[in-house]
Amino acid sequence: MDKLIITGNGPLDGEVWASGAKNSALPILCSSLLAQGPVTLGNLPHLQDITTSLELLGRMGVDLVMGDKMAIQLDASEVTECHAPYDLVKKMRASILVLGPLLARFGKADVSLPGGCAIGSRPVDLHIRGLQAMGANINVENGYIRATAPGGRLKGATIFFDVVTVTGTENLLMAATLAEGTTVLENAAKEPEIVDLAECLIKMGARIRGQGTDTITVEGVERLHGCYHDIMPDRIETGTFLVAAALTRGRVRVRRTRADILEAVLAKLEEAGGHITVGEDWIELDMKGQRPKAVNVRTAPYPAFPTDMQAQFVAMNAVAEGTGRVVETIFENRFMHVQELNRMGAKIALEGNTAVVTGVDQLSGAPVMATDLRASASLVVAAMIANGETMVDRIYHIDRGYECIEEKLQLLGGKIRRVPG
């Protein structure tokens, strides 16, 4: 297993670019199953999760061709298998996103249950209930969701989500595009990645309105066609680099990104003492050499503060002036980084779903272990300012979601290298 070796090296300074968003690319790759013609995607990030998705789609018979400027063309004209096997689904929960498209286009799907993961149990009951409301017959047996649509086509329905779910909204949105009649998704997630997916589906010929609000209306059509779409920038990767700047008292400009989708995060970084300037496609944070101030954070669905930035803010608070309370309301077990940060000398106490973080003057390097994607990111950014050497183990988690993490941090002056293992 590869490891990252990081030596704390003072303020990060310089420019990096944001890659395409993992959480937009994953549903959009799956949406190619809906189209009778080639879907070409630009700005796809080079991530393990993307490779896993391409392997999954390839096994189903989707024809994959590398296009110009690293764009990938996916042609699902000849799908041969409506089956997502456990060996791939276990690597990546987002594989559940093939369920809606397969059922909508082919009237059948056989998808392994994703199961729990380090951050929580993460059930998919709302995906299943929504598809049942659209007429699907679904049996969960032997660890698989086996679904069929009577007569081969789903029917439009009004679906109310008890809990705001991002991939649940995406699965039902994709399913609704080819259903007979109108579907209304109420209490839908409003994340920018859902808007990106809807925009791609509209380019394929889907009739969707209300994306980005909590009510999305979809008028089903008989068929969708191919299109070209560029994946939006990754707001979580962008936010992670800005936190790295704040915590090392440095200055980082992130290019090829968007400030309008990071408002809650930027507000907290400003509260922490960051001087933020934004341009058309860049965001810069400059700490002017000052230590960050601890901030209180409460995670909630978009447009509130994202759970995917929680671990990085715990790391920033760990070296900040004062005490910050970080409340996690989305996932029941998303504090696996706390123990590891404490091994680096942080003073963090857990009280139920709240991490009470008292900033210390100095962290010290230590061997630590990554347990999930954003926990890994928090350990890496903390190591950037720690005294001495930190070895982050199990970094396959970070490779799921951060493209060229060590190269980008090196560009900013970070002392980080990968050791193959």
Ligand X SMILES: CC(=O)N[C@H]1[C@@H](OP(=O)(O)OP(=O)(O)OC[C@H]2O[C@@H](n3ccc(=O)[nH]c3=O)[C@H](O)[C@@H]2O)O[C@H](CO)[C@@H](O)[C@@H]1O
94 binds ligand PEP (CB under 6 A): yes
Q: Does residue number 56 form part of the binding site for ligand PEP (CB under 6 A)?
A: no
Select 188 or 381, whichever has its Cβ closest to ligand X: 188
**What does 401 interact with, of ligand X, ligand PEP, none (CB < 5 to 8 A by kind)?**
ligand PEP
Q: Does 35 bind ligand PEP (CB under 6 A)?
A: no
Minimum Å gap between C-beta 188 and ligand PEP is: 17
Q: Is residue 297 classed exposed, middle or buried when 0-12, 13-18 and 19+ CB atoms within 10 A define those classes?
A: buried
| Dihedral angle sign, alpha carbons of residues 11, 16, 20, 26 | negative
Q: Choose among ligand PEP, ligand X, none what residue 201 binds, the Cβ cut-off being 5 to 8 Å by kind.
A: none
412: partner contacted, choices ligand PEP, ligand X, none (Cβ within 5-8 A by kind) = none
Please identify which residue in 25, 44, 131, 373 interacts with ligand PEP, judged by CB under 6 A: 373
Least distance in angstroms from the C-beta of 255 to ligand PEP = 21
165 binds, among ligand X, ligand PEP, none (CB under 5 to 8 A by kind): ligand X
* 124 in a known ligand binding site: yes
Following CA atoms 259, 41, 124, 169 in sequence, which dihedral angle do they give, to the nearest 10 degrees? 60
Q: Does the annotation place 190 within a ligand binding site?
A: no
Per partner kind, with CB cut-offs from 5 to 8 A, the member of ligand PEP, ligand X, none near residue 127 is: ligand X
Nearer to ligand X, 3 or 127 (CB): 127
Q: Do residues 57 and 35 touch, judged by C-beta distance below 8 A? A: no
* Contact present, 259 and 278 (Cβ < 8 Å): yes
- The answer to whether residues 381 and 370 touch, using CB atoms and an 8 Å cutoff, is no
Q: Please tell me whether the peptide bond between 292 and the residue prior to it is cis, using omega within 30 degrees of 0.
A: no
- Give residue 235's Cα distance to chain centre: 9
Q: Is 117 a catalytic residue?
A: yes
Fill in the DSSP letter of residue 33. G
Site membership for ligand PEP, residue 397 (CB under 6 A)? no
- Taking the least distance from each CB to ligand X, the nearer of 91 and 93 is 93
CB 121 within 8 A of CB 128: no
| Sheet architecture: strand order including 297-298 | 297-298, 323-327, 354-358, 347-351
User: 């990645």: which residue's tokens?
Assistant: 193
Establish whether 126 is an annotated binding residue: yes
Question: What gap in Å lies between CA 88 and CA 117, rounded to an integer?
Answer: 14
- 30, 117, 200, 404: which is the annotated catalytic residue? 117
Q: Which among ligand PEP, ligand X, none contacts residue 125 (Cβ within 5 to 8 A by kind)?
A: ligand X
68 is in an annotated binding site: no
Q: Is 123 annotated as a binding residue?
A: yes
User: Where do contacts with ligand X occur on this chain (CB under 6 A)?
Assistant: 23, 26, 93-94, 120, 122-127, 163, 165-168, 307-308, 330-331
Residue choice 193, 196, 237, 308 for contact with ligand PEP (CB under 6 A): 308
Spatial distance between the Cα atoms of 297 and 324, rounded to a whole number of angstroms: 8
Residues 6+ apart with CB under 8 A from 358: 294, 322, 323, 347, 348, 349
Contact (Cβ atoms closer than 8 angstroms) between residue 62 and residue 119: no
For residue 216, the tally of other CB atoms under 10 A from its CB is: 25
Residue 127 is a binding residue for ligand PEP (CB under 6 A): no
**Shortest gap between Cβ of 167 and ligand PEP (angstroms)?**
7
Closest CA to 144 of 133, 128, 157, 163: 128
Could you identify the residue written with the tokens 């309301």?
329
Per CB under 6 A, 401 contacts ligand PEP: yes
Q: Does 50 bind ligand PEP (CB under 6 A)?
A: no
Q: Measured from the CB of residue 379, what is the shortest distance to ligand X in angstroms?
A: 18
Which DSSP state fits 307?
G
**Between residues 248 and 307, which has the closer beta carbon with respect to ligand PEP?**
307
Q: For residue 122, say whether it is annotated as part of any ligand binding site.
A: yes
**Is residue 398 a known part of a binding site?**
no
Minimum CB separation from ligand X for residue 196, in Å? 11
Asked if 337 interacts with ligand PEP (CB under 6 A), we say no
CA 204 – CA 291 distance, rounded (Å)? 49
Q: Which residues contact 221 (CB under 8 A, 6 or more apart)?
A: 177, 178, 205, 206, 207
Q: Rounded to the nearest whole angstrom, what is the least distance from the CB of residue 23 to ligand PEP in the complex? A: 6
Per partner kind, with CB cut-offs from 5 to 8 A, the member of ligand PEP, ligand X, none near residue 207 is none
Q: How far is the CB of 308 from ligand PEP (least distance, A)?
A: 4
Positions annotated as catalytic residues are 117
Question: Which residues of the chain form contacts with ligand PEP (CB under 6 A)?
Answer: 23, 93-94, 308, 373-374, 401
Annotated binding site for UDP-N-acetyl-alpha-D-glucosamine: 93, 122-126, 308, 330
